[in-house]
Structure 1
Amino acid sequence: MNKEPLHRVSARLAAIAPSATLAVDAKAKALKAEGKPVIGFAAGEPDFPTPRNIVDAALQATEDPANYRYSPTPGLLPLRQAIAERTGGVDASQVLVTNGGKQAVFQACAAVVNPGDEVLLPSPYWTTYPETIQLAGGTTVPVEGRFDNGYKVTVDQLEAVRTERTIALIFCSPSNPTGSVYTLEETRAIGSWALEHGIWVITDEIYEALVYDDQQATPILEAVPELANQTIVLNGVAKTYAMTGWRVGWMVGPTDIIKAATSLQSHSTSNVNNIAQRAALEALTGPQNAVVDMREAFDRRRKLIVDMLRQIPGFEVPVPEGAFYVFPRITGVLGREIGGVVPRTSAELAEIFLDQALVAVVPGEAFGTPGYLRLSYALSDEDIVEGLTRLQNLLS
């Protein structure tokens, strides 16, 4: 008789939830494949094509036989030098090129978090953060970014939950999912607090180029340079250059951390695709006019989506200052009958939108904040108008 294994899936992986944003996007795309006119506000993905100069650099790289071989795990030296220059004040040896931003997040947590450590995580938060903390054996300590404070946390809030087990803070500005941007003063205060208490800062700056209304997204190391020895900077080309599918991110940090993360990557994925690295090098060092054009389009769409959402009774809609998301509070809609159904949660409301209006949004539960919705405005003006007109009609 064959004996069954002691268990099928490890407890470590069984505890990990799939990405809620990708799940909603996958369902929307499946409905589209069936011929249904779904409007998707779920994915955090620019709808623009990758700029032509970047694509041409990749095509040229396919003709170089050197790119057909393994390359150094940390990344191609010219790319690491370009990242170091962009980050400022660091050496190429402090850079590790990763397979997208998610690998950078995972490896940053793996590098500094031990079992039992606590990681402070401002909410609303990107869905991947708590899962990577858990995989590293840490405990997520949510810190609520309140609606009336633009979804941003304060030093007083962080200090209130700090314990002897607090090892790190994840900091994201501009924010996914809210679009909030911390001011220089706010960033400096948080960085100084982390420095005082010996807390690692894992700062996700992947939306750094997408800010509006004369806002400035100040890197935390620019605000507090003394924090460099306990900060890991995460970034990538996905959002700024419409390169989500190219899968090139990076982490920048102290040499011992980068060395440890490089060892981990050498046993998991090794080097990032060489063609994609060459494309990323062109993105960072080539013309930046496409970035300006995309930001202007996002700004126009930002104003459009906020205006249309504010016309829906029960929606409270702050104006996002960065990224390409809007995060309205929708508790005023819950408990009302909509198309014969009474939603009690934002998750139920999102299901109604998809089922009855063919509009895909992500409920706040995915970001640790029930009672809210995230809508991306990284889609065409026409789709924004069509999708929100459907919601206005459904809720009128």
Structure 2
Amino acid sequence: MSLNVEQIRAQFPVLQEQVNGQPLVYLDNAATTQKPQAVIDALVEYYSTYNSNVHRGAHFLSDKATRRYEEARQVVANYLNASRTEEVIWTSGTTEGINLIAQGVAQRLQPGDEVVVTEMEHHANLVTWQQACKRAGAKLKVAPISDAGELDVSAFKALINEHTAFVAFPHISNALGTINPVKELTAIAKSVNALVLIDGAQGVAHGAVDVQTIGCDFYVFSGHKVFGPTGVGALWGRYEILKDWPVWLVGGEMIATVTYQDATWGELPNRLEAGTPNIAGVIGLAAAINWLQQFDANEILAHEQDLLAYATELAERIEGMRLVGTAPQKIGVMSFVLEGTHPADVGFILDKQGVAIRTGDHCAQPLMKRLGVPGTARASFSIYNTRADIDRLFSAIKKAQMMLA
């Protein structure tokens, strides 16, 4: 590997912490990634030297804040290979981005229309469309997955027909790590002219995202999944679609004209960004993407795959440990159950040993029901994790088994 993981780890202050008297092993990256010093510095610099509102001030601080804010939009546009900067809309995260689109879709759906999702959805990309269909009298259809957690593409294709108005699916499953064939799925949906949204919350930190190559209409993600701050994210949408999209919120910034009787809306991106935005978060997100792009995406993926392969090898040696989600194409996510234990108890014991993982249903209750488990323990790997972290994880798992036997 050409990645110098130790040098990378040194850039993350929190990884130097101790938890319960043990050096921290952070394996909850699918929930949120840690922040490099470059991102922390960008936030501190904003609040310390040019804190101001954007677009509205006739003074130096506002001008600098506005410039950095819009430069960040260009950073995200380049990262996603957007055709226009205006196609990037700032949100509070993936959930708000999906809701922004769903609110507009609900106004366009007619009784008899169909929306297609998958069995592996996060609640944010399931409940949103469920409720939109209820409001419009449309039908929600769910594409099945295999027992290994892989989408059944043939079954997905069979659900697509002349009534399909909208299709939404994750780039990568947060609960299982399964990588979906997003370009193929998009092409299938486009064969009937359906609109396509991709939940990219787990996709942006694990390889290059090219929305032009994928061919989708909307791609949404959260900053905190890609080494940036919480509370900020981006929606990318095709200009020709977004320019007339129903407004999401009304108020300041998104207005063209106002009278006491009526109002008109501004152009993109303003028309979909009402109110004072999370300026620091946007600047921090750009800093995170710039930091990430200094590394080769293929090398990052290879590093994570090495960690996953090593963890899988160790898991296969432990009696009573069952992996949940074994699709052949997946990122560094290892969900598992230990026979005779509850995931919450496993997570508690691991935490006492300084190992941070996630437990529960991972905001995917229907998926857990489909797989026949109440929830899982989930270890998820990132650029700064090492095989030594994996060793600590399995040492802690063995102790949990012993204590819970």
* Coarse TM-score class (shorter-chain normalised): 0.5 to 0.7
2:242 maps to 1:233: no
Q: One-letter code of the match for 1:313?
A: G
Indicate the percent of aligned positions where both proteins have the same amino acid: 14
CA RMSD, 1 decimal: 4.2
Pairing of 1:197-346 with structure 2 (within 5 A): 197-208=192-203, 210-211=205-206, 219=210, 221-223=212-214, 227=215, 231-241=217-227, 243=228, 245-255=229-239, 257-259=241-243, 263-266=247-250, 270-286=275-291, 288-289=293-294, 298-299=304-305, 301-310=307-316, 311-313=318-320, 315-316=322-323, 318=326, 321-328=329-336, 333=339, 338=340
1:324 to 1:247, Cα distance in 2 relative to 1, 3 A: farther
Q: Secondary structure at the match of 1:190?
A: helix
CA distance in 2, matches of 1:385, 1:166: 46
CA distance in 2, matches of 1:355, 1:84: 41
Structure 1 equivalent of residue 164 of structure 2 = 166
Kindly provide the CA deviation profile for residues 102-133 of structure 1, in whole angstroms up to 9, marking residues without a partner as x: 21122122232346553211222212211221
Structure 2 equivalent of residue 84 of structure 1 = 77
Structure 2 equivalent of residue 152 of structure 1 = 151
CA distance in 2, matches of 1:164, 1:196: 9
Structure 1, 361-370 or 137-146: larger mean CA deviation: 361-370
CA distance in 1, matches of 2:296, 2:131: 35
Kindly state the Cα deviation for residue 146 of structure 1 after the two structures are TM-superposed. 0.8
2:118 maps to 1:132: no
Kindly state the Cα deviation for residue 257 of structure 1 after the two structures are TM-superposed. 4.2
Q: One-letter code of the match for 1:95?
A: V
Structure 1 equivalent of residue 266 of structure 2 = none
Q: Is the 8 A contact 1:178 1:374 kept in 2?
A: no
Aligned length: 331
Q: Secondary structure at the match of 2:226?
A: coil
CA distance in 1, matches of 2:290, 2:123: 31
Q: Secondary structure at the match of 1:160?
A: helix
Kindly state the Cα deviation for residue 52 of structure 1 after the two structures are TM-superposed. 1.3
CA distance in 2, matches of 1:272, 1:167: 31
Q: Secondary structure at the match of 2:83?
A: coil
Kindly state the Cα deviation for residue 197 of structure 1 after the two structures are TM-superposed. 0.6
Structure 2 equivalent of residue 385 of structure 1 = 394
1:256 to 1:111, Cα distance in 2 relative to 1, 3 A: farther
Kindly provide the CA deviation profile for residues 337-377 of structure 1, in whole angstroms up to 9, marking residues without a partner as x: x37xxxxxxxxx44564688888622486252322435132
Q: Is the 8 A contact 2:162 2:192 kept in 1?
A: no
Q: One-letter code of the match for 2:141?
A: V
Kindly state the Cα deviation for residue 250 of structure 1 after the two structures are TM-superposed. 0.7
Q: Is the 8 A contact 2:144 2:156 kept in 1?
A: no
Structure 1 equivalent of residue 86 of structure 2 = 93
CA distance in 1, matches of 2:302, 2:32: 13
2:64 maps to 1:59: no
Structure 2 equivalent of residue 105 of structure 1 = 98
Q: One-letter code of the match for 1:240?
A: V
CA distance in 1, matches of 2:320, 2:125: 32
**Unaligned stretches of 5+ residues in structure 2:** 1-18, 57-65, 252-272, 352-356
Q: Is the 8 A contact 1:203 1:220 kept in 2?
A: no
Q: Is the 8 A contact 1:119 1:166 kept in 2?
A: yes
Q: Secondary structure at the match of 1:159?
A: helix
Kindly state the Cα deviation for residue 56 of structure 1 after the two structures are TM-superposed. 1.5
Kindly state the Cα deviation for residue 202 of structure 1 after the two structures are TM-superposed. 0.5
1:390 to 1:366, Cα distance in 2 relative to 1, 3 A: farther
Q: One-letter code of the match for 1:97?
A: W
1:322 to 1:97, Cα distance in 2 relative to 1, 3 A: farther
Structure 1 equivalent of residue 368 of structure 2 = 369
Kindly provide the CA deviation profile for residues 127-151 of structure 1, in whole angstroms up to 9, marking residues without a partner as x: 2211221343455422112135x51
Q: One-letter code of the match for 2:380?
A: Y
CA distance in 1, matches of 2:115, 2:208: 23
Q: Secondary structure at the match of 2:79?
A: helix
Q: Tell me which protein shows more strand as a share of its residues.
A: 2
CA distance in 2, matches of 1:70, 1:375: 40
Q: Is the 8 A contact 2:33 2:224 kept in 1?
A: no
1:283 to 1:84, Cα distance in 2 relative to 1, 3 A: same
CA distance in 2, matches of 1:257, 1:217: 24
Kindly state the Cα deviation for residue 91 of structure 1 after the two structures are TM-superposed. 0.4
CA distance in 2, matches of 1:43, 1:361: 13
- The TM-score normalised by the length of structure 1 is 0.67
Structure 1, 160-169 or 372-381: larger mean CA deviation: 372-381
Q: Is the 8 A contact 1:210 1:324 kept in 2?
A: no
1:199 to 1:105, Cα distance in 2 relative to 1, 3 A: same
